[in-house]
Chains A and B, each alone.
Chain A
Amino acid sequence: MPEKKSKKVKQNIYAKWGYLFIAPFFLVFTLFTLVPLLSTFFYSFFEYYSDNLDVVGPNFVGLQNYFRLFQEGRMFRYFGNTFVIWILGFVPQIILSLLLAVWFTDIRLKLRGLRFWKTIIYMPNLVMASAFGMLFLTLFAQNGPILSFLFEIGALPETFTIDSSVWGTRGVIAFINFLMWFGNTTLLLMAGVMGIDNEIYEAAAVDGSGAFRTFFQITMPLLMPIFIYVFITSLIGGIQLFDVAQIFTRGSGNPNTTSTTLIMYLNQLIVPSKNYGMGGAFSTILFIVTLGLSSIVFRYLVPQTTSKKQKAGRVKDENRYLPMNLRQFKKENRDGEVHE
């Protein structure tokens, strides 16, 4: 008991260092994120924009900016565009990433050059997204290498242009996104698959489970937490889609704003007219959407850290996704680990 007390006193001596070391983070976060965030909310209730050199406002207008956003319907159109482009990239990305993650971790396959493949698939993630957009704008130009090849083999009529094709433009933007992110997703899923106990696979193999069955009844359920993490973070990333679409459509969202994304709209509100009122209201809506999504991710991030009580809670959480028999199996297995 006295020993405990002295330890506590000792901790208190050091506590000030804890505050000191964490202070810069919170100071900067407050000044450069929290205050701007609050002022964004604040502006959303005002009519406040510039018309050439004249500044209109700030005049308090209540919720009028929000009503206008909902009435105009443009916002919904851009939500739709962003979602369509995201899903076009995400579906092939998750399928390929799951396949690669399973292949790369399959011991029986003994694939060679794993480090090489991993290096290659992750590479596009580091490429400047705006340069990626520019590169594909040039590659898909009327006289660029890709379209002239497709004209030559007769796959497309010569009247085709990429900026007049709705699905052509969306497809290219989605493809760039796919190329940039599938390597990252693969590596995340691989970490998840490698975390699954090998004994489960051995047991499944003994019971004569085929590759498909093993994947859908063992790998997928056990991978569910990390799968949801990947899904939601990708969705949040999708909402932020800007660089590629902005450069590839040259800021226009052509054809006919069918590839204008949410952040492109935000950019249009900020850049020419400094429309802090409408832009603020729009940012607030985006904030609420991402807050909802990130609170889902938060649930998966939190339990792996702190106290034992929460750790126990996490086991329960994780097993929620397991079929009954596996749940039992995993529990026994985990108990075994603890005793070791």
Chain B
Amino acid sequence: MNKTMNSEMKNISQPINNKTKKQKSIKRSLLIKRILIYAVLIFITFLCIIPFYIMIINATRASPQIQQGFSFIPGDQLVNNWNSMMSMSSIQVGRAVRNSLLISSITSFLTTYFSALTAYSIFMYRFKGRNFAFMFILFVMMIPNQISALGLVAIAYKINMVNTIIPLVIPAIASPVTFFYIKQYMESVLNKELIESARIDGAGEIRIFHRMVLPIMKPALAVQFIFAFVSSWNNFFLPSLILTDASYQTIPLIFNLLRSSNPATFDLGLIYMLLTVAILPLLVVYLLFSKMIISGLTAGSVKG
């Protein structure tokens, strides 16, 4: 309808004709801009994906093949590379995966549960020092944990906590960043009157927290669980200082071991296989839950 009106107007008067011309040129420049933007986006997608594509393809090829150059077609050495990775004598990948899984799951459980508990305390109760506690947590949020690492390592040596998971998992209970995200989410979804009415019905505080608050908070908790899991799975600095014994090594520490050997002598198929094991599972989890994760990210973020 708009179109017919435009063509009618064209015949009637000159100035309006000029205007439609202008609109057309705006439309055209918008189209050009759109094409340019898609080109940039495709290029970025390429940048983000190609390293992992090369990694996965090379995990299916033998070392000599890989050295001859890159191919976009997968090879047939996947099983071979897997077997040679699993049968390495110096590095036990299966054990490292188990250690990583154990530490990451305990860490992420503790982080999410206790951050929710802390957030609920600040959200629901009016107690003396509440404001101070909140300010304090916000203030220490930005201080990197590498700075207290030296003291933690020194203490761990003194009280024989080296090569135990305690210095790696227990600190997860006090995680200011996770607390902050959960607190933000709580502000927007939790209704204090609902909790008051549960109290009138005679529910205890602990029961209210577990039966009411946690279920309502589920989406935020799930996202924070994934984040905590990922950051623990990827954690390198502190574990490298605490887990010095080979039998406690986690996956990132394997790469620390490998660096002492020369890349020229690597069995490349094996290395790419190892990288795939370290990276791919998390990427799959991420892609499965990406909708939830992406929206969860911005929901708790700082609003300008």
Q: Which residues of A contact B (CB under 8 A)?
A: 11, 14-22, 24-26, 28-29, 31-33, 35-40, 43, 96, 99, 103, 108-111, 115, 117-124, 126-131, 133-139, 141-143, 145, 148-149, 179, 183-184, 187-188, 190-192, 195-196, 222-226, 229, 233, 236, 239-240, 242-243, 246-247, 250-251, 263, 266-267, 269-271, 274, 276, 279-280, 283, 286-287, 290-291, 293-295, 297-298, 300-302, 304-306, 318
Q: Is B248 an interface residue (CB 8 A)?
A: no
User: Once bound together, how far apart are the Cα atoms of A138 and B241, in whole Å?
Assistant: 25
Given A263-B237, A287-B143: A247 and B256 interface contact (C-beta under 8 Å)? yes
Asked whether B142 lies within 8 Å of A294 as measured between CB atoms, the reply is yes
Main secondary structure on chain B at its contact with chain A?
helix
Q: Using A127-B279, A135-B55, A263-B146 as known contacts, say yes or no to A26 and B133 having CB atoms under 8 A apart.
A: yes
Q: Are A22 and B121 in contact (CB under 8 A)?
A: yes
Q: Which of A21, A111, A179 contacts B125 (CB 8 A)?
A: A21
Q: Which of A18, A115, A134, A188 contacts B271 (CB 8 A)?
A: A134
- How many chain B residues sit at the interface, stated as a range, is 35 or more
Could you say which residues of chain B place their CB within 8 Å of the CB of A36?
Answer: 148-152, 154-155
CB neighbours (8 Å) of A134 from chain B are 255, 258-259, 271, 275
Contact B237 A243 (CB under 8 A): yes
The smallest C-beta distance from A249 to any residue of chain B, in angstroms, reads 9
Interface status of B234 (Cβ within 8 A of chain A): yes
Query: Once the chains bind, are B54 and A276 in contact (CB under 8 Å)?
Result: no
**A to B CB contacts below 8 Å, 19 in the list:** A15-B126, A21-B125, A35-B151, A43-B151, A111-B34, A119-B290, A120-B44, A123-B287, A126-B282, A130-B234, A131-B251, A141-B263, A141-B264, A192-B303, A226-B303, A251-B259, A280-B151, A302-B135, A305-B134
Q: Which residues of chain B have a CB within 8 Å of any CB of chain A?
A: 30, 33-34, 37-38, 40-41, 44-45, 47-49, 51-52, 54-55, 67, 69-70, 114, 117-118, 120-122, 124-128, 130-131, 133-135, 137-155, 157, 167, 170-171, 173-174, 179-180, 205, 209, 230, 233-234, 236-237, 240-241, 251-252, 255-256, 258-260, 263-264, 266, 268, 271-272, 275, 278-279, 282-283, 286-287, 290-291, 293-294, 297-298, 301-304
